Chain A
Amino acid sequence: MKKNKLLEAGTEIPDFTLRIGNGNGDDHKDNFMTLSDHRGQNVILAFYPADWSAVCGNQMMLYNELIPMFENYNAVIYGISVDGTHCHAAFKEHNNMTIPLLCDFEPKGEISKLLGVYNHEKGFCERALFVIDKNGIIQWSHVSPMDVNPGAKEILETLKNIEK
């Protein structure tokens, strides 16, 4: 079984572009997010296995609630799964969420594999978190068990350390 290695703190994160799951399939640039466009800002990447599953939903709802808190630390957050744009859009609308969700959809799991958080056996990404600083350096990364919602304690602690 192929196994990826989680990119760890101190590593520069490889740049990537992913489609934003807003239900719009057009190839207009506004429908994509390029990580390096966020240089100068802290970025939180929250990989999760799937839209609609209970644990994932709770996790994204919590982060959605914390968006203003993250902004206080000059941070933006993105949720990422292998789901497609229409799936993300429906999931967000159903839960009244504004958190941007990215589609690691085609080629499936490409960015999850790049960062070492793809589960080859299950065919979706692990539940994994990355906090990336203004210069694109990973300051903290973590993989949780599939069924454990990791909350936000360590994300906020890492951001506090970066910003102090």
Chain B
Amino acid sequence: MKNLFTYELELPVNDQDQIAGPENAKITIVEYGDYECPHCKMAMPIVKRIKEDYGDDLRLVFRNFPLTQIHKFANDAARAAELAGEYDKFWEMHELIFRNQDQLDIDHLIDYAKQLGIDSDEFSARLEQNEKVEKVKSDFMSGVESGVNGTPSFFVNGKKYEGSWEYEDFSKILKEL
């Protein structure tokens, strides 16, 4: 039988991460994703539903793994989401970006921030100053070092999960933990 859990998460969850849920949650899921990846878009509502099922028993972390050579908007989208995090709007921005995956140029990204009540002039200036470039890059490198081979990749309690992330399959695996 295929081994469902393989590589170790090399970089533990830390205060640089985008986190939803308490530190002492029974389950921690770390997702490596790319905002322009269609599979990540499909996974977003599934992960959201799983988080809702578990409430405070689950801690969700999102790290960036943009394939910038093939997805030309992925890096800016990742930076915009990270930046929205500084206004406590990371998860709202995260969802908005995935829902509008076919419109991720800078103007649209700024507009999404605006929709969330973020000062768009300031947001735009900060994006232009290349803020969050290093964060996105370090997310990416931590993913490579942890054996991330594509997106989305999920680590459950520190181990890379190789099984299906369809809602029924993923839920069943989590229940068995």
B-binding residues in A (CB < 8 A): 58-59, 61-62, 64-66, 69, 95-98, 149-153, 156
Task: Determine whether the beta carbon of A156 is less than 8 Å from that of B70.
Answer: no
In the assembled complex, the Cα of A88 lies from the Cα of B99 at a distance in Å of 33
Residues from chain A with a CB closer than 8 A to the CB of B72 are 96
Task: Determine whether the beta carbon of B149 is less than 8 Å from that of A98.
Answer: no
Question: Of A58, A59, A98, A152, which one neighbours B144 at CB under 8 angstroms?
Answer: A152
Task: Determine whether the beta carbon of B69 is less than 8 Å from that of A151.
Answer: no
A-binding residues in B (CB < 8 A): 7, 67-70, 72, 141, 144-150
Residues from chain B with a CB closer than 8 A to the CB of A65 are 67-70
Question: Of A96, A97, A149, which one neighbours B150 at CB under 8 angstroms?
Answer: A149
In the assembled complex, the Cα of A15 lies from the Cα of B77 at a distance in Å of 44
Take A58-B149, A62-B149 as given contacts and tell me if A153 and B69 are in contact as well, using a CB distance cutoff of 8 Å: no
Of residues B67, B69, B72, which shows the largest number of chain A Cβ atoms within 10 Å of its Cβ?
A: B69
Question: Of B7, B69, B70, B149, which one neighbours A149 at CB under 8 angstroms?
Answer: B149
The A-B contact count (CB < 8 A) is 45
Task: Determine whether the beta carbon of A62 is less than 8 Å from that of B147.
Answer: no
Q: A106 → chain B, closest Cβ, in Å?
A: 29
Q: Which label, helix, strand, loop or mixed, suits the secondary structure of the A interface?
A: helix
- Could you list 19 examples of A-B contacts with CB < 8 Å? A58-B149, A59-B149, A61-B70, A62-B67, A62-B149, A62-B150, A65-B68, A65-B70, A95-B70, A96-B72, A97-B70, A149-B150, A151-B7, A151-B147, A151-B148, A152-B149, A153-B146, A153-B147, A156-B145
Residues from chain B with a CB closer than 8 A to the CB of A64 are 67, 69-70
Take A96-B70, A97-B70 as given contacts and tell me if A58 and B147 are in contact as well, using a CB distance cutoff of 8 Å: no
In the assembled complex, the Cα of A153 lies from the Cα of B149 at a distance in Å of 9
In the assembled complex, the Cα of A97 lies from the Cα of B69 at a distance in Å of 7
Take A62-B67, A65-B68, A97-B69 as given contacts and tell me if A153 and B150 are in contact as well, using a CB distance cutoff of 8 Å: no
In the assembled complex, the Cα of A95 lies from the Cα of B68 at a distance in Å of 11
Residues from chain A with a CB closer than 8 A to the CB of B145 are 153, 156
Please name the residue on chain B nearest to A64 by beta carbon: B69
Please name the residue on chain B nearest to A95 by beta carbon: B70
Please name the residue on chain B nearest to A150 by beta carbon: B149
Please name the residue on chain A nearest to B160 by beta carbon: A151
Other 14 A-B pairs with CB < 8 A, given A58-B149, A61-B69, A96-B69: A59-B150, A61-B67, A61-B70, A64-B70, A65-B67, A95-B70, A96-B72, A151-B144, A151-B149, A152-B144, A153-B7, A153-B145, A153-B147, A156-B144
Residues from chain B with a CB closer than 8 A to the CB of A59 are 149-150
Please name the residue on chain B nearest to A157 by beta carbon: B145
Task: Determine whether the beta carbon of A98 is less than 8 Å from that of B150.
Answer: no
In the assembled complex, the Cα of A152 lies from the Cα of B10 at a distance in Å of 14
Residues from chain B with a CB closer than 8 A to the CB of A150 are 149
Please name the residue on chain B nearest to A154 by beta carbon: B147
Residues from chain B with a CB closer than 8 A to the CB of A66 are 144
Question: What are the nearest 6 A-B pairs in CB distance?
Answer: A151-B149, A58-B150, A149-B149, A153-B147, A151-B147, A96-B70
